[in-house]
Structure 1
């Protein structure tokens, strides 16, 4: 019979090993992050299906692999399918979409009209890896209101510096806003492994001007078709998730 103390030690070692393997497995299940894109020209291409059904992502994923767009940059919401990456690669993908997504609308968001980055912060150092969160909404139909919205963003850093300071406080690495027609695309980049739910409240902590800005912007925005009543910005979900690597415990 094995000595009780030795048996306990062996059991503890097995448990320790199991927890280590479980931790490894959980790590492998996490979404892959993107290498920091500071200074890179980024763009978005969007496919909107003709119906309400989700658009199949496989052909877009194949094109992304072909033109070196990380598949972790592919997102979806309802009948909207999006790829985000370096502008030249996204443009190459966009040129091939009509053939594989016949009957769908394709939008190309070439240049953001608004960009925040860490150069506007006291601490200018950026994280080595980022997680990108993408949201979308519409501008209201009134052209005058649309122009007001753009004008506010043109002068935000000068007239509303507290907003950028809030982004600095929240450790946002970059924030881009694109526009195509009435539709807006917002890309928030945060340090890999962080949570937007955790970081976002820091934008307005002891900084009421951020709340004032958000309240002001509400009059210019509305939800896309398919959103719930009162819903404006919707999160697009990553399509390509890394597969878990099976771990065999002997």
Structure 2
């Protein structure tokens, strides 16, 4: 099993942040998005928020490949629709590469 930690910012607007959280509640989530996550061998995904900063933890199988997930998502119209919706609320981190949303974090401490 592998663990990935990623970060992303939301637009600093309380109404937009509330809408973003609305879409991430279990009763409002899209089943196609959940399926796309599981199909990519992501075993668990959690998102935390402080202010407008998001932190995602992904637990994956050893077979998970980010490039494969990216290719699968590009061919999935429902994932593309979801990503367009989420981009209404999200903004790239200042150091993100062009077109990059979630930025992989570097582990700097482990107990």
Q: Same fold (TM over 0.5)?
A: yes
Please report the TM-score for the alignment, with normalisation by the length of structure 1: 0.39
Cα separation, 2, equivalents of 1:231 and 1:192: 24
Per-residue CA shift, 1:174-205, capped at 9, x if unaligned?
A: 11101111110011221125322224433564
* Aligned: 1:218 with 2:90: no
**SS class of match (2:88):** helix
Structure 1 counterpart of 2:55, from 164, 178, 185 = 185
Match of 2:3 among 128, 132, 140: 132
5+ residue gaps, structure 1: 1-129, 241-250
Aligned 1:151-190 pairs, distance under 5 A:
151-154=22-25, 155-157=27-29, 160-190=30-60
Measure the CA separation in 2 of the matches of 1:198 and 1:135. Answer: 17
- Is contact 2:40-2:64 (8 Å) kept? no
Q: Could you say what the CA RMSD is over the residues aligned between the two structures, in angstroms?
A: 2.3
1:145 alignment counterpart? 16
Per-residue displacement from partner, 1:109-145 (whole Å, max 9, x unpaired)? xxxxxxxxxxxxxxxxxxxxx1111110111011111
Distance 1:229 1:194 in 2: 24
In the superposition, the TM-score normalised over structure 2's length comes to: 0.80
Unaligned runs of 5+ in 2: none
Q: Is the 8 A contact 1:222 1:231 kept in 2?
A: no
Post-superposition offset of 1:227: 3.7
**How far does the alpha carbon of each residue in 1:86-122 deviate from its partner, in whole angstroms, 9 at most, with x for none?**
xxxxxxxxxxxxxxxxxxxxxxxxxxxxxxxxxxxxx
- Which fold has the larger relative contact order, with Cα–Cα distance below 8 Å and residues 6 or more apart in sequence? 2
Structure showing greater radius of gyration is 1
Q: Which runs of 4+ in 1 moved over 6 A?
A: none
Residue 239 of structure 1: how far off its partner (Å) = 4.2
Q: Where do 1:34-73 residues align within 5 Å? A: none
Number of corresponding residues: 108
